[in-house]
Amino acid sequence: MDLFKNEGKIFVISGPSGSGKSTIANALLEEPDTVFSISMTTRKIREGEVDGVNYYFVTDEEYDRTVAEGGFLEHAEIYNHKYGTPKKPALENLKKGLNVILEIEMQGALQVKESYPDAVLIFVLPPSLKILRERIENRGTDSKEEIDKRMAATVKELDYLKDYDYYIVNDIKEVAVETVKNIMRIEKQKVKNLPANFIEEYIKE
Ligand code: ADP
Ligand code: 5GP
């Protein structure tokens, strides 16, 4: 009902590489009024990726220009590549009352929380580091050195857990997805999300 509709909410999904962020974030699009934020990146496009779908793949110049124009909601450099969340589409979608999903790493997540304290930060944890390694090995995309590097990075990334609002253990995928969906639904029910003129309009109906 439109009467109950206010601005949308930002949901940030972060977690170690291989924890299942993309798997979970993609499933969240099944929720009504939910869209995904498409980031800009300077890294090279990978096989199977589509420009404008997975990312906007841009040059360093284009990226730097966007930073200078204040065009990012947040931005960060990871593994020598730059990533940023375009501000305009995100804000337009929030205005329309949509949930905006950001699948980004922790430095960016903290910038979002600072600018938008109502943003909901969700940290995806693998059931254990042993299982994380197995999943990355099974994915078959990384060398042993790369896997060791990612595992060491994971231990450091856990320091950010305390800054998040919710944690999700990605054991059984369907359970993890359902839990995040529940968080989204509950967050939307906060009284402060109601429009300022809610009572006035409600009693008119
Ligand atoms: P991330 O986006 O965090 O790097 P992915 O979503 O790519 O992680 O998941 C890493 C790998 O683990 C993929 O091969 C994915 O299919 C698998 N995976 C994700 N969630 C689960 C789960 N709950 N149980 C088993 N395998 C999973
Ligand atoms: P990949 O290059 O493997 O797609 O992503 C590497 C990391 O960058 C992941 O942790 C992903 O969540 C993060 N990332 C993707 N887009 C953005 C973004 O716009 N901002 C930030 N801060 N991180 C991002």
The percent of residues in the chain predicted with pLDDT above 70, rounded, is: 100
Question: Which tens digits make up the pLDDT trace of 157-173?
Answer: 999 999 999 999 999 99
Where does ligand 1 bind, in terms of residues with CB under 6 Å? 15, 17-23, 135, 139, 170, 172-173, 176
Q: Which residue blocks in 7-140 are alpha helix, DSSP H?
A: 21-28, 60-68, 87-95, 106-115, 129-139
Question: What gap in Å lies between CA 39 and CA 9, rounded to an integer?
Answer: 17
Q: In the structure, what pLDDT confidence band is assigned to residue 146 with cuts at 50, 70 and 90?
A: confident
Average pLDDT of the residues of the chain: 95
Atom of ligand 1 nearest to the CA of 138: 14
- Give the ligand with the smallest distance to the CA of 24: 1
Q: Output the CA 200–ligand 2 centroid distance in Å.
A: 43
Q: Are strands 99-103 and 34-36 parallel, antiparallel or unpaired?
A: parallel
Q: Is the dihedral of CA 105, 106, 112, 116 positive or negative?
A: positive
Whole-structure pTM over 0.75, yes or no? yes
Residue 38: which of 47, 27, 48, 49 has the closest Cα? Answer: 49
Q: What is the pLDDT of residues 10-21, one digit of tens each?
A: 999 999 999 999
Give the confidence band of 2 by pLDDT, cuts at 50, 70, 90.
confident
Do the Cβ atoms of 154 and 17 come closer than 8 Å? yes
Q: How far is the CA of 110 from the centre of ligand 1 (A)?
A: 24
Q: Specify the pLDDT at position 80.
A: 87
Nearest 10 degrees: CA dihedral of 20, 74, 83, 24?
10
47: confidence class by pLDDT, cuts 50, 70, 90: confident
Point out the ligand 1 atom lying closest to the alpha carbon of residue 139: 14
